[in-house]
Structure 1
Amino acid sequence: MSLINGLPAHILLVHFVIVLVPLTAVALVVCALWPAGARRLGLVLPLLALVTLASVPLTTSAGEWLERHVDSDPLVRRHADLGDGMLPWALGLFVLAAVVWWLARRTGTPEGGTRSGSGSVLRIAAAVVSVVVAVGAVITVYRIGDSGAKAAWHDGFSKTATHSGDDG
């Protein structure tokens, strides 16, 4: 995918990643820390994480196409290098979402307790790893987005207005 309605697909697809990664990260942490929430969401959590995971390579591929169609620039290269690091984080979100969903179904009782002590240990471990991966994913998507904005806008605007408008 290279163009959507005449625009580079990357500049449109990137918005899915920008929204879905933090949304999935927050949902994962909430569900990992609150098993009743994971049971209430059911398959929504792993499906959200799957959509997030699928959006990353689509956006990266479109970005690679765009990179070949713009002037070579160190800011663009930095953005592309950082962008290549998003897929492992998205994969981690998906795997952990599936684990949290599975643990909530397996270890939970209707009252919110657990059936075994090992279930508690697994839930705690999943919660800790989920928080780490969620924070890492959000920081990574922020860094990628920041570098992309700098690459796109570093010389594309004037700090002073070029003409006056009808502001009121």
Structure 2
Amino acid sequence: MTLINGLPAHVLLVHVVVVLVPLTALALVAAAIWPRAARRLGVLLPALGLVSLVSVPLTTSAGEWLERHVDSDPLVRRHTELGDGLLPWALGLFVLAVVVWWAGRGSRREGGGGSRWSALPVRIALGLLSVVIAVGAVVDVYRIGDSGAKAAWHDGFSKSAHDQHGADGS
């Protein structure tokens, strides 16, 4: 995917990643820590993880196309390098979302006391791992987004406002 309605697809697809990866991370942590949240989210949790996972390589591919169509710049290269590192985090979110969903299914069927979910060591391990992966994914999205904004906007705007209507506002 290269262009959407005449615009580089990357600048549009990046919004999917920026919203869905942190949303998936938040849902994952909530579901991993609170079994009731896992039951309420149900299959939405792994579905959200899957859409997040799929959106990352689509956005990266569109970004690589865009990189070849802009002037070579160290900030763009840095953004591209950082962007290449998000896929493992998205994969981790998806895998854990599936595991947490699967573990939560047993407790729903058995009235909340299912053996897969109720074992405290399992809940603690899933909770800690989910927090680590979620924080890593969100921090990576932030770093990538920050580098992309710097690449796109450095020297691209004036730091002082220009009065386009004259002093009287007309």
**Which residue number corresponds to residue 53 of structure 1?**
53
Deviation at 1:41, TM superposition (A): 1.2
Distance change >3 Å, CA 71–CA 34, structure 1 → 2 = same
Q: What are the residue-to-residue correspondences of 1:89-108 with 2, within 5 Å?
A: 89-107=89-107
TM-score normalised by structure 1 residue count = 0.93
Q: What are the residue-to-residue correspondences of 1:1-168 with 2, within 5 Å?
A: 1-107=1-107, 109-110=110-111, 112-115=112-115, 119-165=119-165
Gaps of 5+ in 2: none
Question: 2:33, 2:117 → 1: CA distance?
Answer: 16
Distance change >3 Å, CA 152–CA 123, structure 1 → 2 = same
Deviation at 1:117, TM superposition (A): 9.0
Gaps of 5+ in 1: none
* 1:90-110 deviation digits (Å, cap 9, x = unpaired): 000000000001111135542
Cα pair 1:107 1:119 within 8 Å, conserved: no
* 1:91-148 deviation digits (Å, cap 9, x = unpaired): 00000000001111135542x3343798332221111100000000000000000000
Deviation at 1:84, TM superposition (A): 0.1
TM-score normalised by structure 2 residue count = 0.92
Cα pair 1:24 1:45 within 8 Å, conserved: yes
* 1:9-68 deviation digits (Å, cap 9, x = unpaired): 000000000000110000000000001110111100000000000000000000000000
Q: Say what the alpha-carbon RMSD is for the aligned residues.
A: 1.9
Distance change >3 Å, CA 117–CA 8, structure 1 → 2 = closer
Question: 1:83, 1:44 → 2: CA distance?
Answer: 26
Deviation at 1:164, TM superposition (A): 2.8
Identity, % of aligned pairs?
70
Which stretch shows the higher mean deviation, 14-23 or 114-123?
114-123
Distance change >3 Å, CA 165–CA 93, structure 1 → 2 = farther
Q: Secondary structure at the match of 2:131?
A: helix
